[in-house]
Amino acid sequence: MKRLYRSGSKRVLAGVFGGLGEYSDTDPNLYRVIFLLFLLFSLIVWAFLPIGILGYICAWFILPEGP
């Protein structure tokens, strides 16, 4: 059974997107670009409400470090 972990090898900041990439067998940069687009959209539409940043920080603390 696959488990979602933060990546230790494909990390840029905390390894959240690297872990998502390893879990789904895709490039972590895809998740990073989607996150940046979502962040820009939320800054424009919801007037600086950092939903994406709060979600990333929550994932950083919730997801365990990978083996």
Asked whether the whole model's pTM tops 0.75, one would answer yes
Distances (CA, A) of 47 to 24, 38, 58, 62: 32, 13, 21, 27
The string of pLDDT tens digits covering residues 21-50 is: 888 989 999 999 998 888 888 777 766 667
| 3-state secondary structure (DSSP) of residue 65 | strand
Kindly report the length of the chain. 67
* Segments making up each domain of the chain, as ranges: 16-62
> Which residues does residue 6 pair with via DSSP β-bridges, in sequence order?
65
The contacts of residue 42 (CB under 8 Å, 6+ apart) are: 49, 50, 51, 52
More confident position, 64 or 9: 64
